[in-house]
Amino acid sequence: MEAPPDNDVMWARSLHFTHRDGSPGLAGVSLEVRQSEILAVSGPRGSGKTTLLRCLSGLVKAQQGEVWFNSAPMHTLGPMARERLRRDRFCWIDPAPVLVPELNVWENAALPLMLRGTSRRRAKVAALEWLERLDVGDRARRRPHELRQAERQRVCIARALAPGPTILFADEPTAPLHRADRAHVLRTLTTAARSHGITVVLATHDSETAALADRAVSLLDGRRVKTVHLPESPETEGRAACSLSV
């Protein structure tokens, strides 16, 4: 087993994943994630972005391949150790907001901190700070069902940033937001990540969102591809780019 380069916070080699029903998910994806970068994983719907983020974050285990975090192998860890790592070092944002309906907004946002052992009082202070930054501070004592969908998603983003994770996995995090909201929330997310040194792996099929990242990798049919821009010519008109497997 060859150890990955030291300057990569995460490193994956030749990941293969097949879903339980036999559907292909990933067909040999390798990539590196550098410390404190915002990495976009782009590609059309069904290209394997979510599956890749789930494998990298340890939510599922690839049937073949290696994932390393901070120069230590993750692919050899058992389910409990992977769960602890996810709880203590990673956070996740889903495309649709998932909150605990019985808890109010600040309690939801404080939950990952409390699960890591932070006192309720300190977790509340941190949660309220992030809710303010995401413009939902005035909803702190409401229950999730009293909020609009876009506000609930902002709460999920605050909840993911509050613990200061080493890596934040964001799967189409602005999908439920309106266009105007989207730009503001993305800017807050990327600015916060940069100022707190949080590495972000951001799945998106939207080129405007991918453009906010420091670097982008593209997927197609579960493989990494490189987009090649071809010069405009009569033969290539309307077909300005093609993808090559790398």
Ligand X SMILES: Nc1ncnc2c1ncn2[C@@H]1O[C@H](COP(=O)(O)OP(=O)(O)OP(=O)(O)O)[C@@H](O)[C@H]1O
- Sites for ligand X among residues 203-232 (CB under 6 A): 203, 205
Residue partners of 98: CB distance under 8 A and separation at least 6 = 156
- Sites for ligand X among residues 49-68 (CB under 6 A): 49-51
Helix (H, G, I), strand (E, B) or coil at 187: helix
* Vertex 193 angle, CA 43 and 211, to 5°: 35
- Sites for ligand X among residues 24-43 (CB under 6 A): 25, 43
**Residue 49 or residue 124: which is nearer to ligand X going by CB?**
49
Shortest spacing between CB 42 and ligand X, in angstroms: 9
Q: How far apart are alpha carbons 120 and 101 in whole angstroms?
A: 19
Residue partners of 73: CB distance under 8 A and separation at least 6 = 1, 66, 67
Q: Please identify, among the stretches 18-26, 60-68, 107-115, 183-191, the one whose residues bind ligand X according to the rule CB under 6 A.
A: 18-26
Shortest spacing between CB 236 and ligand X, in angstroms: 26
**Residue 50 or residue 118: which is nearer to ligand X going by CB?**
50
Q: How far apart are alpha carbons 54 and 132 in whole angstroms?
A: 29
23 binds ligand X (CB under 6 A): yes
Q: Please identify, among the stretches 7-15, 31-39, 46-54, 125-133, the one whose residues bind ligand X according to the rule CB under 6 A.
A: 46-54
Q: Please identify, among the stretches 17-25, 129-137, 192-200, 238-246, the one whose residues bind ligand X according to the rule CB under 6 A.
A: 17-25
Shortest spacing between CB 102 and ligand X, in angstroms: 27
What does the per-residue mask of binding to ligand X show for 68-107, with x meaning CB under 6 A? ----------------------------------------
Bridge pairing between strands 90-93 and 167-171:
parallel
List b or e across 177-206, with b for residues whose CB sees 16 or more CB atoms inside 10 angstroms: beeebbeebbebbbebbeeeebbbbbbbbe
Which residue from 16, 35, 37, 46 is in contact with ligand X, where contact means CB under 6 A? Answer: 46
Q: How far apart are alpha carbons 102 and 6 in whole angstroms?
A: 43
Give 177's DSSP letter: S
Q: How far apart are alpha carbons 103 and 143 in whole angstroms?
A: 6
Which residue from 3, 7, 14, 19 is in contact with ligand X, where contact means CB under 6 A? Answer: 19
- Sites for ligand X among residues 139-168 (CB under 6 A): none
Alpha helices, DSSP H, located in 66-178: 79-89, 105-115, 120-133, 149-161
**Residue 18 or residue 35: which is nearer to ligand X going by CB?**
18
In the complex, the residues that contact ligand X under the rule CB under 6 A are 19, 21, 23, 25, 43, 45-51, 203, 205
